[in-house]
Amino acid sequence: MEKLPFSDISIFVDNKKICVDEDGFFGNIIPTNQLQFKLEIMNTNEYRTQVFKVFVDQPTMQRRIIGLESNVTSSDSQLFVRDVSILESPQPQGVYYPSKRDAGLCVLFYGPADFHIYEIALISQGGKFFLTSQKIYGGECFSFEDSAFAVDLLKRNRERIDLLGLLSILAEKNDIKFPKINEEDVLQMMNQSSEKENAKLDVSDLKKNQARILFWSHSNLWGIVAVSQQLTEQGLARVHWSQLAPRTKNGLAYLNPGEIINFATTRDAHKGLFGTSIDLELLSIFSE
């Protein structure tokens, strides 16, 4: 779990502050409980901050970034308060989880030379509630043709394009000058980024029943792995938390980028963001 810098996160159940264990576990919550989390971000000279939420428009499935204002602002910090609805899973019944619409925030830290984006999410695995935080994007930031440019946001999906736009707006608003680069610099960075991405997808060193973890999303409860292209068209597969053995004392299941997993068989899942995805029936996990 990656700790959010310059920040403090508190969980409240029925207006009482709850102790959060090292792995993020804070209890088995039910719908009659009032669940709330508070995020306090300390002001710092090193970075400016912007808290935002990514909403998904259900009819179009388009993702939209919406900036959020703090509930309380002082000279030292900003305080954000979120009330979280508790829902019941249809199958199996009696298993509860936090509404994803309420249970997460993203925090952008940005300065004259770099940026970092963290995601905070309250999640449930089998009815056990966890507080998670992880860095999802970050790196150097530049100015190219009067707009923000960041290698980690080069992949042309809607969310990353919007994040680059957000960086540009915030930098101009706060008079932050990113280092300027030219077209030759951009092409070189893009080529280096492509080489790194291709290296991650290379599974020639793995056996046919092995896969390499590319990333894990705590908020979505699944990760993406690279597998042989003989198994999937794009050489990618999706792995859900429920296929994994718990890794912490309270039962949190997850994978780390770079780890290798052995799997027994594959089964078709559905068409999604990565084309035809497959789920993996896992046998074991080990690190490189």
Would you state the structure tokens that stand for residue 186, as one six-digit string? 């951009």
What pLDDT does residue 64 have? 81
What pLDDT does residue 247 have? 93
pLDDT band at 276 (very low <50, low <70, confident <90, very high): very low
What pLDDT does residue 132 have? 98
Instruction: Give Cβ neighbours of residue 120 (< 8 Å, ≥ 6 apart).
Output: 4, 9, 37, 39, 104, 105, 106, 107, 131, 132, 133
What pLDDT does residue 222 have? 93
Asked if 140 and 153 touch (Cβ cutoff 8 Å), the reply is no
What pLDDT does residue 2 have? 85
Count other Cβ atoms within 10 Å, centred on residue 9: 19
* pTM of the shown model: 0.90
What pLDDT does residue 274 have? 45
Asked if 138 and 115 touch (Cβ cutoff 8 Å), the reply is yes
List strand residue ranges (DSSP E) for the chain, in order: 7-13, 16-18, 25-27, 35-42, 48-57, 62-67, 72-73, 77-84, 86-88, 96-98, 104-110, 114-125, 128-140, 142-144, 147-149, 210-217, 222-226, 236-240, 260-272, 275-286
Residue 94 has pLDDT above 80, yes or no: yes
Question: Would you give the end-to-end CA distance of the chain in angstroms?
Answer: 19
Task: Please give the full DSSP string across 134-179, using - where no structure is assigned.
Answer: EEEEEEE-EEETTEEE-GGG-S--HHHHHHHHHHHHHHHHTT--PP
Asked if 40 and 11 touch (Cβ cutoff 8 Å), the reply is no
What pLDDT does residue 166 have? 93
Question: pLDDT tens digits for 115-161?
Answer: 999 999 999 999 999 999 999 999 999 999 989 999 988 766 677 88
Question: Residue 9: helix, strand or coil by DSSP?
Answer: strand
More confident residue, 70 or 92: 70
Residue 45 has pLDDT above 90, yes or no: yes
Q: What percent of the chain has pLDDT over 70?
A: 88
Residue 256 has pLDDT above 80, yes or no: yes
What pLDDT does residue 272 have? 46
Would you state the structure tokens that stand for residue 119, as one six-digit string? 């995601």
What pLDDT does residue 287 have? 46
Domains of the chain: 7-173 (no CATH), 210-286 (2.40.50)
